[in-house]
Chains A and B, each alone.
Chain A
Amino acid sequence: MRRLAPRPALLAASTAAVAVALIPLAYLAVRTAEAGWDRIAAELWTERVALLALRSIGLAAVVTTGCVLLGVGTAFLVTRTDLPGRRTFAVLGSLPLAVPTYIAAFSWVSAAPRLEGFWPAALVLTLCSYPYVLLPVAAALRGADPAQEEVSRSLGRSGWQTFTAVTLRQIRPATAAGALLVALYVLADFGAVAILRADTFTRAIFIAFDLGFDRTGALVLSSVLVALTLLLLTGETATRRRGARYAQLGGARRPAPRLSLGAARWPVVAALLGVAGLALGVPAVNLARRLAAGVSRPGALTEVLAAAGNSLTVSLAGAALTMLLALPLGLLASRAPGPLTTVLDRLAYLAHALPGVVIGLSLIFFGINVAYPLYQTHWLLALAYATHFLPLAVGAVVGAAAQSPAGLEEVARSLGRGPWTVLRTVTLPLTLPGIGAGAALVFLAGMKELPATLLLRPTGMNTLATELWTSTAVGAYAAAAPYAALLVLISAVPTWLLVARSGLLDKENLA
């Protein structure tokens, strides 16, 4: 087939972008190695590390199991049964994504200040994360070919046998992908475990560094966490590759027949309402209650505005830097796919999987020792956002570039238009909306990022997320409420986009 012309400039820019994204990981490795094996061993082989590992892995396992049960169950109910109010429940099941875990945790402690430890953290994280399973599984259930189930029934299998032998197999790649995402998310989560005082790696890293100034300890803990993350990531990649074989083999899609719930329908509705009440009702009610008490405090508005301004500035800087790095990578991935491009793409993804607290820690050391002019500036924070959210932006650029295929540009050239005119009249009008949406996503993700912001913000600068954190830490729940409310509003936008794109809102799919 036609081979694309080599694009040395694009390749160089992409390599540079990936190198920037890998700074935290590389620097973590360098610093840990510098500590020397004896000190590492002394920090590593302790009862505390073993307990932390056990608790982190246990939390990930419990939350992932909970999310799979809740997510697959809800997905099946809203796509394949005659449940009343399916669309509403689909939306209610996706909305928890709009509640950052630290805000959910905040709303629970503000209601019951004594709430803390492993099980509350597991509950809050499950309620916040089950949409990560629900959304892909619902999409898989809608996309699965009902003819396979019909064939199974025609070959003499019962409804239940068909469900376990065919339907569950069809959605297995989606379930596995969602579950691994949840596990990664739980390992990396900082806000909920810190607020609910569940002693896991992220909280221990933060405490070791922030309170104890124990650098080697923090580095070693980070390395263990990164190792766990990499292990999970390998699993994720493997399921994704296997998932490719489950692709539907042609044929027009038609909706599967709906299962009648019969007498069970109202108990099911009550159960789903209960889950929604815990996941959304508790934060909403507590937030509203605290908000009513908090706005009367003098000077609150100026503080909120200042924090919002700071959030805006660092997130804008972060989004700009991220897009700058993402553009060459995205263009390379869409216009010159190949083994090298895949490697670069995977490496950028690797940086994304690093927990925010590890990125923050690594960049602090990087700032102090290598890039001192950046230390204590917005730009180091922007770099952390760029590292963390690069794959988000690359995905958006790839999607946008697909809106303007090379064939269109060739036609425009053949009609006598020069390269710049083609760029102005064809490429840009078609790709800018997608690139803009990607930048907006990164911007919003930066607004609600907590751990890296806590570690890297210039002294004295507060953002919405850090104000919430500081107020919660001293039990000033009313003071924290306005920040929490603003952050929920900010998180709602990307959630809405995600839900809309998943097709859950399409009338013909759920009506």
Chain B
Amino acid sequence: MSDVVLSGVVKRYGRVTALAGADVSVPSGQLTAVLGPSGCGKTTLLRCLAGFERIDGGEIRIDGDRVAGGGRHVPTHRRNIAVVPQEGALFPHLSVADNVGYGLDRAARRSDRVEQVLALVGLAGYGARMPHQLSGGQQQRVAVARALAPRPSVVLLDEPFSALDAGLRAGLRQDVREALRADGATGVLVTHDQGEALSVADKVVVLRDGRVVQAAAPTTVYREPVDPWVAGFVGDAVLLPAVVEQGAARTALGVVPVAGPVTDGPVTVLVRPEQVRFTAGPGAVTATVLRHDFHGHDALVGLRLADGTRITARILDGAAPLSPGGEVSVQVDGAARAFPRDTAVGLPASTVVELAA
């Protein structure tokens, strides 16, 4: 049973501040994803946790013991952690079994622990192979098994799936998730891929500019992001200017109920594209179809509302084909999230965000 707690961790490289007082707690037995765009400090956070870097402020506790901060710096090998790096970094001169057994003492190496963790990652019987005889995905599985073998307090996964192709990635991350869960391991997964973070983690910590902006369950981060930036970073977002009156927002998409407590006045509301439904019910508004991007399992439809606002709707495949120029009726399903108007700045450029012109 292990808890990892980082409080107010500061790390600077010369004049660059990589971590500006990061607070993260990693519940034991769970997988926590640290999510953020590149340069947000997530890899630095992992390296500080592992002891590869000395922190300049704050403290880090593993199982209640302070391992860094307050003049203390416990070296990596005494922290009871294990790292799974991006490219696996298997020891090329050791067999799979010797790689997995590297962190074990003599007695444990003779036990069935090596075979046990190899089975957990789906590579039972591969012990005699050499790393170069394995595919990229298999190497990554061995790296996970090697990290699990000594039962560390926490397994640190540094974007371990990013070097693999998309088809392999989805399967492997679920398998790794299962392996960690079956072994009761605590994990920290560093990633810039929001899909990965939301789908495998028990808890998502969103990092921006060296600070934690939100730490919560994946569903919470997606449905109740703390600000428009997080909303746009973790998924596609339709952000609309609105005015709240008596708990409901008046928007170009009609009147939308607002979730959570909110004061009356001008706000920015978040609607996810999948909340935009094609229906002709009461309260629906008319929109013009601009484009129809077919993705197989679903489709994104670009729409222009009566006042010129452009929005995106996500529909499941099977809905009637919509040709550009056609008129449709749309309505928001469920409640929207409202943010004070002045927070809608500094949105990540990579997200599909449609703001009023």
Partner-B contacts on A (CB < 8 A) = 2-3, 403, 405, 407-408, 410-419, 422, 425-426, 429-430
- Contact partner, A410, options B14, B85, B91, Cβ 8 Å: B85
- Contact partner, B76, options A3, A414, A426, A430, Cβ 8 Å: A414
Compute how far the CA of A169 lies from the CA of B174 in the bound complex, rounded to whole angstroms: 50
**Ordered nearest first, which 8 A-B pairs have the shortest CB separation?**
A415-B103, A413-B76, A414-B83, A407-B89, A413-B77, A411-B89, A416-B77, A429-B93
Compute how far the CA of A422 lies from the CA of B53 in the bound complex, rounded to whole angstroms: 18
Contact A408 B89 (CB under 8 A): yes
Contact B150 A416 (CB under 8 A): yes
Q: Give the shortest distance, in Å, between B276 (CB) and chain A (any CB).
A: 40
Q: Give the shortest distance, in Å, between A476 (CB) and chain B (any CB).
A: 51
With A416-B103, A429-B93 known as contacts, the answer to whether A411 contacts B85 (CB < 8 A) is yes
Q: Give the shortest distance, in Å, between A408 (CB) and chain B (any CB).
A: 5
* A418 surroundings in chain B (CB, below 8 A): 75, 77
* A422 surroundings in chain B (CB, below 8 A): 77
Q: Give the shortest distance, in Å, between A258 (CB) and chain B (any CB).
A: 31
* B44 surroundings in chain A (CB, below 8 A): 2
Beyond the given pairs A2-B53, A414-B79, A422-B77, 12 more chain A to chain B contacts, judged by CB atoms under 8 angstroms and listed by A's residue number, are A3-B13, A3-B14, A411-B85, A413-B52, A413-B77, A414-B51, A415-B77, A415-B102, A415-B147, A416-B80, A425-B102, A429-B93
* B249 surroundings in chain A (CB, below 8 A): none
Interface size class of B (residues with CB under 8 A): 20 to 34
* B85 surroundings in chain A (CB, below 8 A): 407, 410-411
Contact B50 A410 (CB under 8 A): yes
* A403 surroundings in chain B (CB, below 8 A): 92
Contact A410 B52 (CB under 8 A): yes
With A410-B85, A414-B82 known as contacts, the answer to whether A426 contacts B77 (CB < 8 A) is no
Compute how far the CA of A412 lies from the CA of B81 in the bound complex, rounded to whole angstroms: 11
B87 at the interface (CB under 8 A from A): yes
Contact B91 A408 (CB under 8 A): yes
Closest to A410 in B: B52
Q: Mark B60-85, 1 if CB is under 8 A from A, else 0.
A: 00000000000000011111111101
Q: Mark B149-190, 1 if CB is under 8 A from A, else 0.
A: 010100010000000000000000000000000000000000
With A2-B13, A3-B14, A407-B85 known as contacts, the answer to whether A414 contacts B91 (CB < 8 A) is no
Compute how far the CA of A413 lies from the CA of B80 in the bound complex, rounded to whole angstroms: 10
B211 at the interface (CB under 8 A from A): no
* A417 surroundings in chain B (CB, below 8 A): 77, 102-103
Most buried by B among A412, A413, A418: A413
A-B contact pairs, 9 of them (CB 8 A): A410-B76, A412-B91, A413-B76, A414-B76, A415-B82, A416-B150, A419-B75, A422-B77, A426-B91
* B146 surroundings in chain A (CB, below 8 A): 411, 415
* A412 surroundings in chain B (CB, below 8 A): 91, 102
Q: Give the shortest distance, in Å, between B4 (CB) and chain A (any CB).
A: 14
* A413 surroundings in chain B (CB, below 8 A): 51-52, 75-77
8 Å CB interface, B92-117 against A: 92-93, 102-103
Q: Give the shortest distance, in Å, between A411 (CB) and chain B (any CB).
A: 5
* A430 surroundings in chain B (CB, below 8 A): 91-93
* B78 surroundings in chain A (CB, below 8 A): 416
Q: Give the shortest distance, in Å, between B186 (CB) and chain A (any CB).
A: 14
Compute how far the CA of A417 lies from the CA of B150 in the bound complex, rounded to whole angstroms: 11
Q: Mark B126-150, 1 if CB is under 8 A from A, else 0.
A: 0000000000000000010011001
* B87 surroundings in chain A (CB, below 8 A): 407
Compute how far the CA of A429 lies from the CA of B80 in the bound complex, rounded to whole angstroms: 25
* A425 surroundings in chain B (CB, below 8 A): 102
Contact B102 A414 (CB under 8 A): no
Closest to A406 in B: B52
Most buried by B among A405, A414, A429: A414
Compute how far the CA of A410 lies from the CA of B76 in the bound complex, rounded to whole angstroms: 8
* A3 surroundings in chain B (CB, below 8 A): 13-14
Q: Give the shortest distance, in Å, between A58 (CB) and chain B (any CB).
A: 51
Most buried by A among B75, B80, B89: B89
Contact A414 B77 (CB under 8 A): yes
8 Å CB interface, B29-56 against A: 44, 47, 50-53
Compute how far the CA of A416 lies from the CA of B50 in the bound complex, rounded to whole angstroms: 11
* A411 surroundings in chain B (CB, below 8 A): 83, 85, 89, 143, 146
Closest to B155 in A: A414
Q: Give the shortest distance, in Å, between B312 (CB) and chain A (any CB).
A: 34
* B76 surroundings in chain A (CB, below 8 A): 410, 413-414
Compute how far the CA of A425 lies from the CA of B102 in the bound complex, rounded to whole angstroms: 9
Compute how far the CA of A414 lies from the CA of B53 in the bound complex, rounded to whole angstroms: 13
Compute how far the CA of A134 lies from the CA of B248 in the bound complex, rounded to whole angstroms: 79
Most buried by A among B52, B78, B156: B52
Q: Give the shortest distance, in Å, between B53 (CB) and chain A (any CB).
A: 8
Q: Mark B304-340, 1 if CB is under 8 A from A, else 0.
A: 0000000000000000000000000000000000000
* B89 surroundings in chain A (CB, below 8 A): 405, 407-408, 410-411
Closest to B85 in A: A407
- Contact partner, A415, options B53, B93, B150, Cβ 8 Å: B150
Q: Give the shortest distance, in Å, between B183 (CB) and chain A (any CB).
A: 15
Q: Give the shortest distance, in Å, between B155 (CB) and chain A (any CB).
A: 9
* B13 surroundings in chain A (CB, below 8 A): 2-3
Closest to B18 in A: A2
Compute how far the CA of A425 lies from the CA of B91 in the bound complex, rounded to whole angstroms: 10
* B79 surroundings in chain A (CB, below 8 A): 414
Closest to A414 in B: B83
Q: Give the shortest distance, in Å, between B158 (CB) and chain A (any CB).
A: 10
Closest to A2 in B: B13
Compute how far the CA of A412 lies from the CA of B101 in the bound complex, rounded to whole angstroms: 11
Q: Give the shortest distance, in Å, between A480 (CB) and chain B (any CB).
A: 46
Q: Give the shortest distance, in Å, between A335 (CB) and chain B (any CB).
A: 14
Closest to B76 in A: A413
Q: Give the shortest distance, in Å, between A481 (CB) and chain B (any CB).
A: 44
Contact A414 B50 (CB under 8 A): yes
Compute how far the CA of A2 lies from the CA of B46 in the bound complex, rounded to whole angstroms: 13
* B156 surroundings in chain A (CB, below 8 A): 414
* A407 surroundings in chain B (CB, below 8 A): 85, 87, 89
* B93 surroundings in chain A (CB, below 8 A): 429-430
Closest to B88 in A: A411
* B75 surroundings in chain A (CB, below 8 A): 413, 418-419
Closest to B93 in A: A429
* A2 surroundings in chain B (CB, below 8 A): 13, 44, 47, 53
* A414 surroundings in chain B (CB, below 8 A): 50-51, 76-77, 79, 81-83, 147, 156
Most buried by B among A403, A407, A425: A407
